[in-house]
Amino acid sequence: MRSPYLLRFFSKFHIAFGSIFLVPLLVEWIYERQLGQEMLMAWLMPAAIMGSLGFYLRQKYLKDHALEDLPGLSRREGFLLVGLSWILMIAWGTIPFIITEATPDFASAVFESASGFTTTGATVLTDFENTPRSIILWRSLSQWIGGMGIIVLSVAILPELALGGMQLFSAEASGLSGGEKLAPRIRETAGKLWFLYVLLTGLEMVLLKFVGEMSFFDAINNAFCTTATGGFSPNGASIGGYDNGWIEAIITLFMILGGLNFALQYKVFLNLDFKRLWNSMELRIYFLILATATLLISLNLWWEAEVIHTTIKDQTVEPGFTAALRYAGFQAVAMLTGTGFSTADFDQWPLFSKSLLLVMMAIGGCAGSTAGGLKIIRILVLFKHMARECSRLLIPNLVKPISIDKRTIDDSIIWGVMGFISLYIVALVLCTVIMCALPHDAPSDPINPVPEGQKWSMDLDTAASASLSALNSIGPGMANVGPAKNYAFVHPVGKFTLAFCMLLGRLEIYSLLILLLPTFWLKR
């Protein structure tokens, strides 16, 4: 491992991202016009520390090393920079939560910061009305940064990293088609992706403001979180709190776009190559899943008509198939893309509808998107591999390559997918077991109340859905972590465990676990 790369990257990293802490401070001043010492410390302290550290590392680097002495960045160094960058950003992101006391303890601050940067959207906040606007914006901004990826942003804005940028880019976007290049140089590729990302965010913000008649502050926050498929909303009741069909339609559209491969979107929308939409098998399956799930859940809700009354009782919507279609469509998109927004308490829906939502939570969006989950293309490879193995039971010497979109998938990639899914299942089971074993605080449950001061053992539904939500970057789960509830009651160890699973899922397991292997740190 070569120290010049670490010095150069982390000097730029701290200077660039330290300045982001000044944005919430500016917003707080615009709205409040008065800034107390606590508020100033919450934003100026991390900005000053990161800036000073960045300039110190820069001076040390310039003193001891010359730019021309550095050859290309190795893949091993790329994984290290990716992992450390995410860990550091989450760590720095806890400072505002701690100083402003927006979260009750350190574990909650880590949980909230990790949930933001990994675009999970799970929260421990309970009082949105009294939460400072700067904290609300910071949550949304962290999701927007994490949506496309801190490293991709760094490669796009830091020319010095362009030489070894592909190692960083492939370490971050480790899906089967996540690292597709749009230009000969990786910095240009990252720049094109961020151009599209910013364009979609700005367009959604304008539509929410002028078509949905949303406040400018809410429009910015919701646009940040939708494009990143994050799920943090400035409204405590999520998108359902606005009770506006136009807002729901706009956010649904951009959630769908957020779950698509951004490289594919760039080629389709900015290069006007619309044939790629139909030619992509992953995209066809993506829309087929959305359409099928929406129809089935709509029919289920329509059949169970009373559910519409109980889950959207505070909204001005008449029950019927149209209402069922509206809420089923929004929730199906929110779960498949991992955005986690809600317009109704889907935990109260019939078991069939909840089961479909859980399946979509596990599937996730397309490779190369801001969505989490297993990704559709991995599941497609899995089923094709299973079909091939079944055929080999009948014809042992069968040679049948697996192909997607007329491209043959190498066996090394197929075994990589199998390994990823295996690790995913192991992580899900371990996290569920840990969550069930911990003594949590009693959640607020008027139906089955727990005596005050008595610790509570988490039920399997809550533990499994919370673990699935963390790994797939979704946010709400089922039962006591459903859309109408939060994670404030979780034991501190449980919050750290879920935060680790959020990071594990966001970096697609391999990119983080590889740092824990002893062989990774051996000198070569």
Any residues with CB less than 8 A from the CB of 402 and at least 6 apart, and which?
A: 381, 384, 385, 388, 408, 409, 414
pLDDT of residue 118: 94
Report the alpha-carbon angle 372-377-383, nearest 5: 120
Which is more confidently placed, 119 or 65? 119
At residue 7 the predicted structure's pLDDT band, cuts being 50, 70 and 90, is confident
Per the structure block, which two tokens stand in for 265? 């979107």
Per the structure block, which two tokens stand in for 40? 């100033």
For 483-522, the pLDDT digits (tens) are 988 999 999 999 999 999 999 998 888 888 888 888 888 7
Residues paired with residue 409 on neighbouring β-strands, in sequence order: 402
Q: What gap in Å lies between CA 148 and CA 193, rounded to an integer?
A: 8
SS (H, E, C) 319-378: CCHHHHHHHHHHHHHHHHCCCCCCCCCHHHCCHHHHHHHHHHHHHCCCCCCCCCCCCHHH
For 323-371, the pLDDT digits (tens) are 889 999 999 999 999 999 999 889 889 999 999 999 999 999 988 888 8
pLDDT of residue 160: 46
For 251-292, the pLDDT digits (tens) are 999 999 999 888 888 888 777 777 777 788 889 999 999 999
Residue 206, amino acid:
V
Residue 142: pLDDT above 90?
yes
pLDDT of residue 355: 94
Residues 322-354: b if buried by 16+ CB within 10 A, e if exposed: ebbbbbbbbbbbbbbbbbbbbbbbbbebeeebb
For 58-94, the pLDDT digits (tens) are 887 666 665 445 556 677 877 888 888 899 999 999 9
Any residues with CB less than 8 A from the CB of 506 and at least 6 apart, and which?
A: 86, 117, 118, 119, 120, 146, 372, 473
Closest CA to 425 of 374, 459, 380, 466: 374
Which of 189-193, 219-223, 338-342, 462-466 is predicted least confidently? 189-193
What's the mean pLDDT when you consider all of the chain? 85
Tokens 């087929």 locate to: 288
Q: What gap in Å lies between CA 369 and CA 366, rounded to an integer?
A: 6
| Residue 80 contacts residue 87 (beta carbons within 8 Å) | no
Closest CA to 194 of 5, 17, 13, 370: 370
3-state secondary structure of 457: strand
Any residues with CB less than 8 A from the CB of 353 and at least 6 apart, and which?
A: 296, 297, 300, 301, 328, 346
Residue 226: pLDDT above 90?
yes
For 378-400, the pLDDT digits (tens) are 999 999 999 998 988 888 888 88
Give the percent of the chain with pLDDT over 90: 49
For residue 407, what is the enclosing H or E element? strand 407-409
Tokens 């646009």 locate to: 223
Residue 95: pLDDT above 80?
yes
Domain extent listing, the chain: 104-524
Residue 481: pLDDT above 90?
yes
